[in-house]
């Protein structure tokens, strides 16, 4: 499968959409320059396109055979992983104290998109390792950090994230894996986890599992969950690999997509309990796991952007080559390339516009994380933290929803050839599907947005967000450029729909929570459309200011406003009117 990193689009969205350029000028990232950014992106793009992308189809067809408790990764993957980690990509944004490069999360976000464009299955493992690094750095003891962080940051060892059990999926609080305090100060872990990404593999000689478990005297639900670091191999006093820990993969799932990513059932405690080391406080595991999950949620959103970008590139290339029929006014003879047909143009523009909007949302979220970590003033850090918290479920769910839509359109543009595996469009469609499910389903993201993120700072975080969007619309109005068509009117309507739907939901959260939850998913879509549309406009305005050729960005912004932002009014009505129809629809659901 071919993939060429869209370096110009990515660089522009980073610098002018997400605001990396002003952040660098303000000195947020020390000595980092825009030239450095370009050089990093170019090298990441080269690696993704030349080294990883050619392995994507191999991973799909070979899978991850499982024999005698061991997983074999697809041919060429080990070498590619070693080259990738030797390039320092795993520790790009990790702290320098542990061998990382401490570069902005924003740059890491762009690279994450590229790894996922090249191969979701390949990028899945490193994505979780990076999230594990964040959790250990933020919550681990000094001793654990000294022992494990350097090897995780360098990618010599990979990490896993282990929440799910058969009876505990979305409801993490229902988990039963047990942790007993041991005399040596460690814990003995027993239980079963399912669906664990890269739970077993041969890419690294140790695997560090981050496992949620419950102590015998723990309170019920999520207040009684602790996080443990459980290495596949225990370490000798000198840090070398020692005895095999009491944890093993029992099986590997057969699944719709991401065949190169081993999804394992894990068994802890066949022989008395796996040795685990507590991260953070006893019963404080959810806080630590949320650090890990939030990073992983943004990364899964970027996975969506990556797949959508790749599907768009592939569909565009096909639409330029494939000839069928004629367009109005064409003379008989050579048929037209299908890109000339209005309906195909509509599909391609939809793919491009949704992808760029999702990219803008994800990069803006990453920039908020950078500002939350690095801003000089406490108030600015706090505001940025709230912005990142608010945007994370939108980045995850909006981007992965559109990835599914875009990958499906990718097949449609190919016609019958899209349904045939050899073209690669079908693999993208299959690989995209999981992103709306793992790291918290998109339904759970919508619940999180409505119940936990809207009330942040008494509603001030979401109010500030709407004000920022209004500021972009005002700028658009002032630009007075006829090429924008109805863009500013459509975006202004979308932002006001978002604002009114937000107030409606906030007013119902306490008294009528089910009414609010019934509209959570359409609300998240409304949030994504209003935000994505305004961020595209921000990028288009920046292109015009810079005096460059703004035609492409203007066209995408206008298309998005006229075809997608315009849906905001309908979504607002759904949010405020759907509760009765959803909650009182037993009759419809009782039909067998």
Among 206, 251, 412, 441, binds ligand FAD (CB under 6 A): 441
Q: DSSP letter at 246?
A: S
Beta bridge partners of 67: 70
Q: Does 437 bind ligand FAD (CB under 6 A)?
A: yes
CB of 55 to ligand FAD, least distance (A): 19
Q: How far is the CB of 170 from ligand FAD (least distance, A)?
A: 3
Residue 285 has a CB neighbour count (10 Å cut-off) of: 32
Quote the tokens at residue 325. Answer: 């029929």
Residues 6+ apart with CB under 8 A from 446: 393, 397, 520, 521, 523, 524
From 41-49, 194-202, 271-279, 491-499, span contacting ligand FAD (CB under 6 A): 194-202
Residue 355 to residue 16: CA distance in whole angstroms: 17
The one among 140, 169, 304, 306 contacting ligand FAD by CB under 6 A:
169
Q: Which is nearer to ligand FAD, 54 or 443 (CB)?
A: 443
Q: Work out whether 162 is an interface residue with ligand FAD (CB under 6 A).
A: yes
Contacting residue, 47, 268, 318, 438, with ligand FAD by CB under 6 A: 438
Least Å distance, CB 329 to ligand FAD, is: 49
Binding flag, residue 122, ligand FAD (CB under 6 A): no
- Minimum distance from residue 214 beta carbon to ligand FAD (Å): 15
* 99: three-class secondary structure by DSSP: coil
Does 181 help bind ligand FAD (rule: CB under 6 A)?
A: no
**Site stretch for ligand FAD (CB under 6 A), options 109-117, 239-247, 313-321, 442-450:** 442-450
Residue nearest to ligand FAD (CB): 169
**Which of 395/413 has CB closer to ligand FAD?**
395
Question: Should residue 434 be labelled a site residue for ligand FAD when binding is judged by CB under 6 A?
Answer: yes
> Residue from 37, 311, 353, 444 that binds ligand FAD (CB under 6 A)?
444
566 part of the interface to ligand FAD, by CB under 6 A? no
The DSSP secondary structure of 260-295, one letter per residue, reads TS-EEEEEE-TTS-EEEEEESSTT-HHHHHHHHHHH
* Minimum distance, C-beta of residue 521 to ligand FAD, in the bound complex (Å): 9
Beta strands 226-231; 233-235: pairing state: unpaired
Nearest approach, Cβ of residue 370 and ligand FAD (Å): 26
| 443 contributes a contact to ligand FAD by CB under 6 A | yes
Q: Which span (365-373, 438-446, 467-475, 575-583) binds ligand FAD, by CB under 6 A?
A: 438-446
Q: Determine phi and psi for 437, rounding to 5 degrees.
A: -110, -50
Closest CA to 23 of 388, 410, 384: 384
Number of residues forming the site for ligand FAD (CB under 6 A): 19
Residue 429, token pair as written in the block: 């469609």
Task: Pick between residue 10 and residue 225 the one whose CB is nearest to ligand FAD.
Answer: 225
Q: Smallest Cα–Cα separation from 538: which of 516, 560, 563?
A: 560
**Catalytic choice (113, 150, 200, 439):** 439
> Which residues lie closer than 8 Å to 7 by C-beta, 6 or more apart?
38, 41, 42, 45
> 552 Cβ partners below 8 Å, 6+ apart?
none
Handedness of CA 325, 329, 334, 339 (dihedral sign): negative
Phi, psi of 202, deg, nearest 5: -115, 20
Q: Is 33 in the site for ligand FAD (CB under 6 A)?
A: no
Rg of the chain over Cα atoms, rounded to whole angstroms, equals 24
Smaller CB separation from ligand FAD, 25 or 171: 171
Of 92, 152, 196, 530, the one binding ligand FAD by CB under 6 A:
196
Which range in 54-62, 147-155, 189-197, 232-240 contacts ligand FAD by CB under 6 A?
189-197
Let me know if 468 is exposed, middle or buried by CB neighbors in 10 A (0-12, 13-18, 19+): middle
Q: Give the C-alpha separation, 452 to 588, whole Å.
A: 31
Which residue in 73, 108, 177, 263 binds ligand FAD (CB under 6 A)? 263
- Residue 581 contacts by C-beta under 8 Å, 6 or more apart in sequence? none
Known catalytic residue: 439? yes
CB contact burial 64-98 (16+ within 10 A = b; e otherwise):
bebeeeebbbbeebeebbeebbeebbbbbbbbeeb
Number of CB atoms found within 10 A of residue 479's CB: 16
* Contact (Cβ atoms closer than 8 angstroms) between residue 118 and residue 52: yes
Tokens of residue 334, six digits: 């050579």
Residue 161 lies near ligand FAD (rule: CB under 6 A): yes
For residue 357, state whether it binds ligand FAD (rule: CB under 6 A).
no
By CB under 6 A, tell whether 368 contacts ligand FAD: no
Q: Of the ranges 385-393, 435-443, 466-474, 534-542, which one interacts with ligand FAD (CB under 6 A)?
A: 435-443
State residue 399 phi and psi, 5-degree precision: -65, -35
| Interface region with ligand FAD, contact rule CB under 6 A, candidates 10-18, 160-168, 387-395, 536-544 | 160-168
Q: Which is nearer to ligand FAD, 259 or 538 (CB)?
A: 259
Comparison of 170 and 580: residue with beta carbon closer to ligand FAD:
170
Q: Which stretch binds ligand FAD (CB under 6 A): 75-83, 237-245, 439-447, 565-573?
A: 439-447
Q: How far is it, in rounded angstroms, from Cα 434 to Cα 443?
A: 13
CB 564 within 8 A of CB 526: no
Output the smallest distance, CB 422 to ligand FAD, in A. Answer: 24
| Catalytic residue numbers, as ranges | 439
Residues that bind ligand FAD (CB under 6 A): 161-164, 169-170, 195-197, 255, 263, 434, 437-438, 440-441, 443-444, 447
């Amino acid at each position: 499968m071919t993939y060429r990193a869209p370096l110009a689009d990515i660089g522009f969205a980073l610098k002018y959409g997400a605001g990396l350029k002003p952040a660098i000028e303000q000195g947020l990232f020390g000595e980092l320059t825009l030239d450095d950014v370009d050089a990093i992106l170019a090298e990441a793009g080269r690696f993704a396109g030349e080294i990883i992308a050619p392995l994507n189809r191999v991973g799909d067809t070979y899978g991850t055979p499982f024999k005698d408790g061991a997983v074999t990764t697809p041919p060429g993957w080990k070498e590619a992983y070693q080259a990738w980690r030797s390039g320092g990509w795993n520790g790009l944004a990790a702290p320098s104290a542990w061998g990382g490069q401490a570069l902005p999360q924003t740059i890491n976000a762009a690279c994450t998109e590229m790894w996922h464009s090249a191969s979701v299955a390949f990028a899945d493992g490193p994505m979780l390792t990076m999230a594990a690094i964040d959790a250990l750095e933020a919550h681990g003891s000094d001793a654990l950090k000294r022992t494990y962080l350097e090897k995780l940051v360098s990618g010599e060892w990979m990490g896993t994230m282990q929440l799910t059990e058969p009876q505990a999926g979305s409801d993490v609080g229902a988990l039963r894996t047990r942790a007993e305090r041991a005399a040596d100060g460690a814990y003995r872990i027993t239980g079963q986890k399912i669906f664990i990404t890269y739970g077993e593999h041969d890419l690294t000689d140790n695997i560090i599992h981050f496992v949620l478990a419950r102590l015998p005297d723990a309170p019920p639900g999520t207040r009684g969950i602790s996080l443990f670091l459980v290495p596949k191999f225990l370490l000798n006093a000198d840090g070398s690999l020692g005895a095999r820990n009491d944890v093993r993969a029992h099986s590997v799932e057969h699944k719709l997509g991401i065949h190169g990513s081993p999804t394992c059932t894990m068994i802890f405690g066949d022989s008395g309990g796996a040795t685990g080391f507590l991260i953070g406080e006893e019963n404080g595991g959810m806080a630590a796991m949320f650090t890990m999950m939030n990073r992983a949620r943004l990364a899964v959103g970027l996975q969506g952007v990556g797949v959508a970008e790749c599907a768009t590139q592939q569909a565009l290339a096909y639409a330029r080559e494939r000839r069928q029929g004629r367009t109005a006014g064409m003379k008989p003879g050579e048929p037209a390339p299908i890109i000339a047909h209005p309906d195909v143009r509509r599909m391609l523009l939809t793919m491009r516009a949704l992808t760029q909007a999702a990219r803008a949302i994800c990069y803006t979220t990453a920039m908020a994380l950078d500002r939350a970590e690095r801003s000089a003033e406490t108030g600015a850090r706090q505001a940025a933290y709230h912005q990142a918290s608010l945007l994370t479920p939108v980045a995850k769910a909006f981007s992965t929803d559109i990835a599914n839509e875009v990958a499906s359109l990718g097949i449609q543009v190919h016609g019958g050839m899209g349904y045939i595996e050899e073209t690669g469009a079908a693999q993208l469609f299959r690989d995209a599907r999981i992103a709306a499910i793992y790291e918290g389903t998109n339904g759970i993201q919508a619940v999180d947005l409505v119940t936990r993120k809207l009330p942040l700072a008494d509603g001030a975080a979401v109010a500030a967000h709407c004000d920022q969007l209004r500021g972009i619309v005002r700028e658009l109005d002032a630009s007075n450029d006829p090429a924008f068509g109805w863009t500013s009117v459509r975006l202004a309507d979308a932002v006001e729909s978002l604002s009114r739907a937000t107030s409606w939901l906030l007013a119902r959260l306490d008294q009528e929570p089910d009414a609010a939850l019934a509209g959570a998913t359409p609300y998240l879509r409304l949030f994504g459309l209003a935000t994505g549309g305004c961020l595209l406009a921000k990028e288009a305005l920046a292109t015009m200011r810079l005096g460059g050729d703004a035609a492409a960005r203007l066209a995408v912004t206008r298309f998005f406003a006229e075809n997608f932002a315009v849906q905001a009014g309908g979504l607002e009505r759904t949010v405020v009117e759907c509760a009765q129809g959803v909650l009182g629809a037993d009759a419809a659901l009782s039909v067998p």
